[in-house]
């Protein structure tokens, strides 16, 4: 009987745990498209996936700085390093960290996206870019 009580307790505890969040399937494609838009100097004011709060001169100045860090040649590989999602009563915030690997450097791109409960696609609410040494392919 004790063996079944332990098993029942384990099943009960597993049932009480919150479900693990899943990565919104639109998040990574939106983040990649935004990176390309920053690289190419696209019209950010027309981007429907960029939060209105980021469509301002200060953000545009920062994105111009980031643009100068991005090589014109395409990345050799793009890797999703980490992601997490947190949901509350306002919506879901997803944070992605991607590595864009180039011959002479790796760009670490962090994108934060938000999706309201009734929203169709997430919108970008944060973007950051840093450089790292190129990945060792040997």
In the chain, what are the domain boundaries?
25-132
- Tell me phi and psi for residue 66, to 5 degrees: -60, -40
pTM as predicted? 0.81
Write down the CATH number for the domain with range 25-132: 3.10.450
Q: What is the mean pLDDT of the chain?
A: 87
- pLDDT, tens digit (0-9, with 9 covering 90-100), for 90-110: 999 999 999 999 999 999 999
What pLDDT, in 10s, does the model give residues 1-46? 555 445 554 555 555 555 667 899 999 999 999 999 999 998 888 9
- In the block, which residue shows the tokens 């011959």? 103
Assess contact for 100 and 72: CB atoms under 8 A. no
DSSP 66: H
Q: How far is CA 98 from CA 7, 9, 60, in A?
A: 40, 40, 21
């Amino acid at each position: 009987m004790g063996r079944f009580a332990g098993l029942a307790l384990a099943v009960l505890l597993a049932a009480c745990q919150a479900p693990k969040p899943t990565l919104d399937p639109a998040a990574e494609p939106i983040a990649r498209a935004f990176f390309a838009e920053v690289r190419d100097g696209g019209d950010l004011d027309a981007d429907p996936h960029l939060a209105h709060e980021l469509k301002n001169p200060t953000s545009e100045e920062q994105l111009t700085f980031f643009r100068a860090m991005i090589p014109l040649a395409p990345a050799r590989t793009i890797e999703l390093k980490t992601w997490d999602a947190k949901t509350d009563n306002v919506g879901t915030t997803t944070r992605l960290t991607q590595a864009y690997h180039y011959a002479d450097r790796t760009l670490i791109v962090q994108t934060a996206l938000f999706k309201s409960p009734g929203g169709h696609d997430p919108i970008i609410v944060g973007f950051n870019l840093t450089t790292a040494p190129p990945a060792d392919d040997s």
